[in-house]
């Protein structure tokens, strides 16, 4: 039996395959670490017909490959086919590699295929405001080290339509699942995979460090709410690059917990680089900072971003009761078209985890720099609303040209409780941001994550 001799079989897979199995042709790929041992999902009884439930096969594969964590790690190859599964956990020193014609399908058989898990400590309740528990993500992992989810553009399809309908019709007691949630993990890579039809958020690293997300495509119907693209949450040292995201919510939403729960956990998101991202999001932002920001957000660097038909470019959203801070945020070289609002800061975001928030916990928003921005077909240039008892300060906007569209509003800059400066900005900004010669700053030093160089690996 394969499982009885599994340890031997996996060690020998590179040079010899079990009788009758056709291994996929070797593929070169880049990863934070390569693996010494290799197995194919079909070794564990999986059937790629899009109908057979393969949760047990994924679970057995990961459990058996976990024995190699201390011996060079292991990679699980998902070959061409449609692999139906419920939620399953990943392990340390592990790579999940999707063949270009592989599709992992989220089960629609029953909700038990997506077991319930507790809310995150920094949220207190489910992320969509549900009062119950939440369903586990399709791919899940916690307290791990060195995890890679990659491929040559294989697909993870959440088949979320039933979840969307039930949410819209208020039939769900518990919150919808994500496609990927990885918690409390050091060294995480997600790359060269297409995510589509997520029931809710797509990619959610939370309480993680040293995270690389690159070459990812995320596709969600733009009319479906809460289908955020990538949500780094209470993470440190993150690099998001070369991604295409079409979403019914924020393409990238930077978070760190909400209200008293996020304040208590106190884990900020910091040292985040976002580069070369294209976003389509008619109802939300290219990059949102908050509204769950009670643990703090600091040192975010956004550059070379393309926005197409988006509600806003960069949006800072917070509220009385959040506490925390959003500071040292830098963006440059953004190209946009079809924008409802280009710059948006909201101090009166309405949602709360529950009624237990502290009304004296005021957020701090400071040192926000935007430069080198060009936008076409703009409706409103900026809505900047700070708080009466906590003004948003240190705002700098320079070298910005916003070309108005046919639906442009008469009031282009609406500013309250904010302070800062502008330089060479068209249309003319509000009086709260007077002209001051010079460019806004953008850090020239490297973040620690930029020292991470991916290695050349093989599926063989």
Question: What token pair was written down for 454?
Answer: 């991916």
29-38 core/surface letters (b: 16 or more CB in 10 A; e: else): bbbbbbbebb
Tokens read off for 335 = 């190209």
What residues pair up with 397 in beta bridges, in sequence order?
370, 422
Given 146, 157, 228, 249, which residue is catalytic? 249
Residue of 239, 201, 286 whose CA lies nearest to 450: 239
Q: How far apart are CA 168 and CA 163, in angstroms?
A: 9
**Catalytic annotation present for 249:** yes
CA-CA distance, 189 to 151, in Å (whole number)?
A: 11
- Tell me the C-alpha distance between 190 and 194, whole Å: 10
Give whole-number Cα distances, 73 to 38, 95, 105, 139, 146, in Å: 9, 8, 26, 19, 9
For the chain, state the CA radius of gyration: 23
DSSP summary character for residue 418 = E
Give the Å distances, CA to CA, from 36 to 129, 342, 460.
43, 48, 10
Q: Quick one: how far is CA 39 from the chain centroid? A: 28
**Contact predicate 334/305, CB 8 Å:** yes
The separation between CA 165 and the C-alpha centre of its own chain, rounded to angstroms, equals 23
Active site residues: 249
């Amino acid at each position: 039996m394969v499982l009885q001799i599994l340890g031997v079989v996996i060690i020998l897979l590179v040079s010899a395959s079990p009788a009758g199995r056709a291994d996929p042709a070797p593929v070169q790929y880049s990863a934070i670490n390569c693996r010494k041992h290799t197995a194919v999902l079909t070794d564990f009884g999986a059937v790629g017909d899009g109908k057979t439930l393969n949760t047990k096969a994924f679970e057995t594969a990961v459990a058996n490959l976990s024995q190699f964590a201390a011996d060079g790690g292991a990679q699980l190859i998902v070959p061409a086919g449609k692999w139906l599964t419920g939620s399953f956990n990943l392990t340390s020193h592990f790579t999940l590699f999707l063949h270009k014609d592989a599709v992992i399908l989220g089960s629609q058989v029953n909700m038990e295929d997506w077991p319930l898990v507790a809310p995150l400590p920094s949220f207190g309740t489910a992320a969509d405001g549900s009062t119950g528990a939440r369903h586990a993500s399709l791919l899940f992992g916690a307290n791990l080290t060195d995890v890679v989810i990659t491929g040559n553009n294989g697909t993870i399809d959440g088949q979320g339509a039933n979840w969307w309908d039930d949410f819209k019709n208020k039939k769900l007691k518990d919150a919808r699942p994500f496609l990927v949630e990885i918690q409390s993990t050091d060294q995480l890579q997600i790359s060269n995979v297409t995510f589509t039809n997520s029931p809710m958020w797509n990619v959610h690293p939370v309480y993680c460090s040293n995270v690389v997300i690159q070459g990812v495509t995320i596709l969600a119907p733009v009319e479906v709410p809460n289908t955020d693209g990538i949500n780094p949450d209470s993470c440190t040292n993150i690099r998001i690059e070369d991604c295409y995201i079409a979403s019914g919510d924020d393409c990238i939403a930077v978070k760190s917990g909400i209200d008293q729960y996020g304040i208590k956990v106190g884990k900020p998101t910091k040292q985040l680089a976002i580069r070369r991202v294209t976003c389509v999001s008619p109802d939300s932002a290219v990059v949102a900072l908050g509204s769950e920001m009670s643990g703090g957000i600091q040192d975010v660097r956004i550059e070379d971003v393309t926005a197409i038909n988006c509600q806003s470019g960069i949006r800072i959203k917070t509220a009385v009761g959040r506490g925390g801070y959003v500071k040292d945020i830098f963006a440059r070289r953004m190209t946009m078209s079809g924008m409802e609002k280009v710059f948006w800061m909201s101090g009166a975001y309405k949602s709360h985890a529950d009624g237990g928030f502290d009304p004296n916990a005021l957020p701090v928003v400071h040192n926000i720099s935007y430069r080198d921005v060009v936008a076409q077909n703009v409706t409103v240039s900026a809505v900047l609303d700070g708080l009466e008892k906590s003004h948003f300060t240190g705002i700098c906007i320079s070298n910005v040209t916003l070309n108005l569209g046919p639906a442009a509003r008469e009031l282009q800059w609406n500013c309250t409780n904010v302070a800062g400066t502008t330089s060479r900005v068209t249309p003319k900004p509000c009086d709260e941001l007077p002209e001051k010669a010079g460019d806004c700053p953008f850090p020239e030093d490297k973040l620690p994550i930029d020292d991470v160089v991916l290695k050349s690996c093989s599926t063989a």
